[in-house]
Amino acid sequence: MKLITWNIQRGRGPGNTCNIDRVVTDLTRMGLPDVLCLQEVSAGYDDLPGLDAGNQFIALTRLLPGYTPIAGITTDTMGPAGMRRIFGSMIFSRCPVLQVIRHALPWPADPEVMSMQRGMLEATLDTPLGLIRVATTHLEYFSLNQRMAQVQRLRELQRDAARHARKQGPGTEAHGPFAAVARGGPALLVGDFNFLPGSLEHERLQAPFADATPAWRDAWNLVHGKVANAPTVGLRDPDGIPFTFDFVFACQRMAERVSDLQVASEVEGGDHQPLLLTLH
């Protein structure tokens, strides 16, 4: 089973020009995976070259047939002439999608910096490896205070989900929306976390829980041991030093399933490179 996570930056590519068709072409060249997690998908924006305010959520769904598309909108505001401007993430799955949950993450006031509402998009998938809960997120960039609050909430969500997975509540189809739906115990958390390996946020996210909740583990270390995380940002910036902001975290129950994790450094997209995960 293969998964790709990628901050597509609204389709940015060479010359900072946005083109969703090119994103799908790059994904096809990599080999379309079983599960695809994309961050920075938008609609209603025209602030970058190539952006015509079109709905990228719809465009990606059209360009990726054979997948169940799941949208996670975190920012929804009024633009010019009353047009909605939306921004968020998507999950595309070739596996049956049993349940989707859209979580808003904390956004404590930090008036000294720019910021936006952030979220986590979660789906329980019925895969050949069993039920797997896949979640994608994109944490705050400018505000450490907000990012730490979001990391703490990610930990709380993992604890709650693990409890749900251990003991499903009552409820049948006859109870309508109260019908109990399985929630995956084995889980992956992927995306653009806007923190560095070894940072306070990175270590806090992976800290053990006081109860039976399976802790998160950086899948890069599961595959590559003590080798430093390969950079995922700024590989083609002639004036900068590449660094890592994009991660795959596997809960302890998923760790033994992780067989490979690589950065697709050959893709000439925006600042971020895709991550390719293989499970067995």
Distance, in Å, from the CA atom of 157 to the CA atom of 255, rounded to the nearest integer, reads 19
Which tens digits make up the pLDDT trace of 207-242? 999 999 999 999 999 999 999 999 999 998 888 899
Give residue-wise pLDDT tens across range 146-173.
999 999 999 999 999 999 999 888 999 9
DSSP H or E segment with residue 146: helix 144-166
pLDDT band at 268, cuts 50/70/90?
confident
- DSSP SS3 for 234: coil
The answer to whether 275 and 246 are in contact (CB under 8 A) is yes
pLDDT greater than 90 at residue 86 = yes
CA distance linking residue 177 with residue 67, whole number of Å: 24
Residue type, 58: I
**Percentage of the chain lying above the pLDDT 90 cut:** 93
pLDDT tens-digit map of 22-53? 999 999 999 999 999 999 999 999 999 999 99
Give the helix/strand (H/E) hosting 175: none
Mean pLDDT of 122-143: 98
